[in-house]
Chains A and B, each alone.
Chain A
Amino acid sequence: MSSASKPYILDLENVLYSYEKDSPFIHDLSFSIPEGGFIGLLGANGSGKSTILKLACGILKPLSGRIKLWGRDLLAQNSRDRAKLISYLPQTLDISVPFTVKELVSMGLYPYDIPPALSVDEALDMVGLRDKADARLTDLSGGERRRTFICMTLVQGAGLLLLDEPLANLDIKYQIELVKLLKNLRELRNIAVIMALHDINMALQFENVILIKDGNLIGSGRPDEVLSQRILKQAFDVDVEVRRSASQGIYISYDNNFAERRS
């Protein structure tokens, strides 16, 4: 990732991973994430986005290669110490459990014997959920639930947040709200974010993007530099049009795929 001045907090070096023997799924993957980076991890279904995030937080162990977190080998770190540095939110969050917002957010304190600087109430204020502290998760909207889980990671105090498709199943209002919240937290607390996502236009909101195809990195860098018609065709196997407007930068249209039906 491009960041000349900031130190790297996550380094993947030649990582290889396989779910089945003799059939590598992630091939020789290398990239680095700087402190406070805001990264969109983009790729088609089954391209390896979730696997990469699970490797990056130690749920999966690479067959070869190294993963370093703040310069230290990820797998050599004690699991509680690691939890203070990195937080992972899975794609499917079970919200059928009747925990209250405050109970869930307080779980962010579990890796600590002495509570960190940010209190649960302060974190709830930051995500705008103070008045819902005693509400049950099951009674919240989809956007509020995601915010609750983000709030828990704030209390956890991790400097790197890995989010696996948090925008899935959210309507556009909540998608915008969540991305704005994450940008805000990045400004306030210098938290780096890697978010797996499908929406190509939403990826434009990120500082950098990483494009994955069949477990291979096929592009990385600033969205306006990386997201070309050619590379998006390669990643998603669909023809798109990258349009540029003077005021708002680029946006991506896939209208041309429906042209036949319109005529």
Chain B
Amino acid sequence: MRIFILVFVALFIFCCALFLGPQIIAPGPLSTIEREILFSIRLPRVLVAMLMGMALGASGAVLQGILRNPLADPYILGISSGASLTAALGIIGGMSFLGSFTVPVLAFVGALVTGGIVGMMGWKRGGLWPERLLLAGVGLSFLFSALLMLMMSISTDEGLRRAMLWIFGDLSMSEWSRIPWGLAFVVIGIVLSATRARALNALILGDEFAHSLGFSPQRERFILFVSVGLLTAASVSLGGMIGFIGLLIPHIMRFFMGSDSRMLIPASALGGGSLLCIADLVSRSVLPPMELPAGVVTAIIGAPYFLYLLRKKDVLSI
């Protein structure tokens, strides 16, 4: 029942984000300008926000489970740092071999290659080990961040500004052409992780427990890791880095939906998508025509609410 309420809320927020903004579009007959704003600018932008938020929320719920760490988020594995590095390389280097797809594809490849390296470093004795994954991710994250800063410190002003915008999450560049690809990877990632939700519940209780319940812990962790990699790569390549959602949305959803991953994964996806849609709406409505970075708005809206929940009830556990 609660999940249906959440679906309804997400749809409502999606519609609000679509029709509200600096220019409010009233339902009914649309002028040519309104139609242009709605279908060419707003709809792709809100769809990208929803997809990115869904990917981040779901991957956060999965990652906190497989790493058995309440502080894990999709960026802790260094996947986003890898994506940022390759995307910045493309922006600052002025690459355009795939047209408008160049930067998203570079980010996607960077994310997947980094995910592969983290996976290889986290692999020992025939499986992925949570502690190794976490430490490998943190180590790579630092390395890639340092390389990114080095690259930005020697870049031109224009390249630097565009790279910075992208890194802080830029939804203003959303366009229709990217959406089918983003949608495909986000759907694959969420479906893959949702079908392994029972195994994730067992893994949260420990590998020996998962074994006793008839799962192969290493195999399940590998599948879930692949789904997180796909979701993070899809999200980062759609619109850059948006912090907070992957870390805190799963905790907020646990408070409302409980800890069963079968509910938590779809709920975190819906919650993440909704929050990013709200954040995007606020970011383009507060100081028009200026836009605030969506990632900053997400944290400003979400963090106080999370702290309020933390104060009321202990939500910071997996």
The answer to whether A and B belong to the same complex is yes
- A interface vs B, CB < 8 Å? 54, 57-59, 79-84, 86-90, 92-94, 96-100, 103-104, 107-108, 110-111, 138, 156
Confirm or deny: B93 has a beta carbon within 8 angstroms of a beta carbon on chain A.
no
Pick the residue among A58, A82, A103, A138 that contacts B260 (CB under 8 A): A103
Q: Are B211 and A96 in contact (CB under 8 A)?
A: no
Contacts of B212 in A (CB 8 A): 57, 83, 86-89
List CB contacts (< 8 Å) of B64-85 with chain A: 68
Complex contacts, B195 vs chain A, CB 8 Å:
none
Q: Is B201 an interface residue (CB 8 A)?
A: yes
Q: Which residue from A54, A84, A96, A103 sits with its C-beta under 8 Å from B258?
A: A103
Shortest C-beta distance, A132 to chain B (Å), equals 15
B214 at the interface (CB under 8 A from A): yes
Query: Does A110 lie within 8 Å of B211, measured CB to CB?
Result: no
**A54→B68 CA distance, assembly (Å):** 22
Say yes or no: A79 contacts B211, CB within 8 Å: yes
Cα(A55)–Cα(B156), bound, Å:
62
CB-CB contacts of B281-318 with A at 8 A, as 1s and 0s?
00000000000000000000000000000000000011
Given A98-B254, A98-B317, A103-B259, A79 and B201 contact (CB-CB distance below 8 Å): no
Q: Are A99 and B260 in contact (CB under 8 A)?
A: yes
**Bound state CA distance, A103 and B205, in angstroms?**
12
Q: Chain A contacts of B254 at CB under 8 A?
A: 98
Given the known interface contacts A94-B206, A98-B317, A100-B258, the answer about A58 and B211 at a Cβ–Cβ threshold of 8 Å is yes
CA distance in complex: A64, B213 (Å): 25
Contact A97 B260 (CB under 8 A): no
| Given A79-B216, A107-B201, CB of A97 within 8 Å of CB of B317 | yes
**Cα distance A82–B213 when bound, in Å?**
9
8 Å CB contact of A110 from B206, B214, B259: B214
B70's nearest neighbour on chain A, judged by CB, is A96
15 example contacts (A-B, Cβ-Cβ < 8 A) are as follows: A54-B208, A57-B212, A79-B214, A79-B215, A83-B212, A84-B214, A88-B208, A89-B212, A90-B209, A93-B205, A94-B206, A98-B317, A104-B205, A110-B198, A110-B202
> For the complex, what is the distance from the CA of A63 to the CA of B232, rounded to whole Å?
41
For the A-B complex with A93-B205, A93-B209 known, give 13 more contacts whose Cβ atoms are closer than 8 Å.
A59-B211, A79-B211, A79-B215, A81-B214, A82-B214, A83-B212, A83-B214, A84-B214, A94-B204, A97-B259, A98-B254, A107-B198, A110-B213
Nearest A residue to B198 via CB reads: A110
Q: Would you call B213 and A97 a contact (CB within 8 A)?
A: no
Separation of A98 and B212 alpha carbons in the complex (Å): 20
With the chains together, A171 CA to B44 CA distance in Å?
61
Alpha-carbon distance A34/B186, docked complex (angstroms): 51
Instruction: Please report the C-alpha to C-alpha distance between residue A86 and residue B208 in the assembled complex, in whole angstroms.
Output: 13
Interface of A is mostly: mixed
Q: What residues of chain A lie closer than 8 Å to B198, measured between beta carbons?
A: 107, 110
A86 to chain B: which residues have CB within 8 Å? 212
Query: Is there an interface contact between A96 and B317, defined as CB atoms closer than 8 Å?
Result: yes
- Pairwise interchain contact B213-A111, C-beta atoms closer than 8 A: yes
- Chain B residue with the shortest CB-CB distance to A103: B260
CA distance A87 to B208 in the complex (A): 10
Q: Which residues of chain B have C-beta atoms less than 8 A from A96's C-beta?
A: 317-318
For window 200-259 of chain B, which residues contact chain A by CB distance below 8 Å?
201-202, 204-206, 208-209, 211-216, 254, 258-259
Minimal beta-carbon separation of A52 from chain B (angstroms):
14
Which residue from chain B places its CB closest to the CB of A95 in the assembled complex?
Answer: B205
CB of A156 within 8 A of CB of B213, answer yes
Closest chain B CB from A181 CB (angstroms): 19
Instruction: Give CA–CA (A138, B254) in the complex, Å.
Output: 15
The 10 tightest CB contacts between A and B, nearest first, are A83-B214, A80-B214, A111-B214, A88-B212, A90-B208, A110-B213, A79-B214, A98-B259, A110-B198, A99-B259
* CB of A102, distance to nearest CB on chain B (Å): 10
Q: Which residue from chain A places its CB closest to the CB of B211 in the assembled complex?
A: A59
Q: Cα distance A90–B206 when bound, in Å?
A: 9
- A58 cross-chain contacts in B, Cβ below 8 A: 211
How many Å lie between the Cα of A99 and that of B260 in the bound state?
7
List of A residues within 8 angstroms of B206 by Cβ: 90, 92-94
List the B residue with the shortest CB-CB distance to A153: B212
Q: Are B204 and A97 in contact (CB under 8 A)?
A: yes
Are A57 and B317 in contact, with the CB atoms below 8 A? no
Query: Which of chain B's residues have a CB closer than 8 A to the CB of A97?
Result: 204-205, 259, 317-318
Q: Note all chain B residues with C-beta closer than 8 A to A110.
A: 198, 202, 213-215
B209: nearest chain-A partner, CB-CB:
A90
Q: Which residues of chain B come closer than 8 Å to A107, judged between CB atoms?
A: 198, 201-202, 205, 213
Interchain CA distance A137-B260 in the complex, whole Å? 13
User: How far in angstroms is the closest Cβ of chain A from B318?
Assistant: 6
Beta-carbon nearest neighbor of A104 in chain B = B205
Query: Smallest CB-CB separation from A54: which chain B residue?
Result: B208
Name the distance in Å between B152's Cβ and chain A's nearest Cβ: 41
Query: Shortest Cβ distance from B80 into chain A, in angstroms?
Result: 27
Closest to B206 in A: A94
The CA-CA distance from A138 to B318 in the complex, in Å, is 12
Q: How far is the CA of A90 from the CA of B198 in the complex (A)?
A: 19
**Closest Cβ of chain A: how far from B231's Cβ, in Å?**
23
Chain B minimum-CB-distance residue to A108: B213
| Residues in chain B near residue A104, CB distance under 8 A | 205
Complex CA–CA separation, A57 to B208 (angstroms): 10
